[in-house]
Amino acid sequence: MPDTASYAIGHGTLRLIEGDITRDDADAIVNAANAALAGGGGVDGAIHRAAGPRLLAACREIIADIGHLPAGEAVITPGFDLTARYVIHTVGPIWHGGSHGEPDTLRSAYAQSIARAVEHDLSTIAFPAISTGVYGYPVELAAPVALGVMAEALGTGPVREIRLYLHGKRAFDLWRSTAEAGAMIR
């Protein structure tokens, strides 16, 4: 059975879940996308496979208009074959040692994803751990950044629930200990 942990923050709830984001029934799930919104490996590939080919077509339309999605920005598409109504696509930073603005870009990726949800009157969002896979962002450095943005959104905005999906027990335990040690979780 997958691990879960829940935290009340403001008028909302943060849930950490060891599991598969593609099966979540949130209003929107967040895709850790590449700049071309072209699908790929990891969470990105899994979301594209689960949503079906119309997701890639919708992403291609966006890219035809904007050229590419810069790191730290986010766009929204329908969820198509997913249980979630929408997919919010964001590009996280590639880790280059931390001195190339990675924390600010990661913070922006989470914040811009939440902003797209708010613009569409969505109250539940499911996130993966953005940039901690092939983009190489160290989990122990990404967790406090991401959790801080999530706690702020839950404490001040219309978002009622944020679910963070984590891959594997080690990742889950690290994020949980970071959440429980952080001042934003009471």
Q: Which residues are catalytic?
A: 44
Please tell me the distance from the alpha carbon of residue 77 to that of residue 58, in angstroms, as a whole number: 7
Evaluated on CA atoms 68, 40, 172, 120, the torsion sign reads positive
If 0-12 CB within 10 Å is exposed, 13-18 middle and 19+ buried, where does residue 42 land? Answer: middle
* Tally of CB atoms within 10 A around 25: 12
Identify the CA nearest to 1 among candidates 15, 16, 13, 18. 18
Please tell me the distance from the alpha carbon of residue 91 to that of residue 74, in angstroms, as a whole number: 7
Please tell me the distance from the alpha carbon of residue 183 to that of residue 2, in angstroms, as a whole number: 26
Secondary structure element (H or E) that encloses residue 125, with its range: strand 124-127
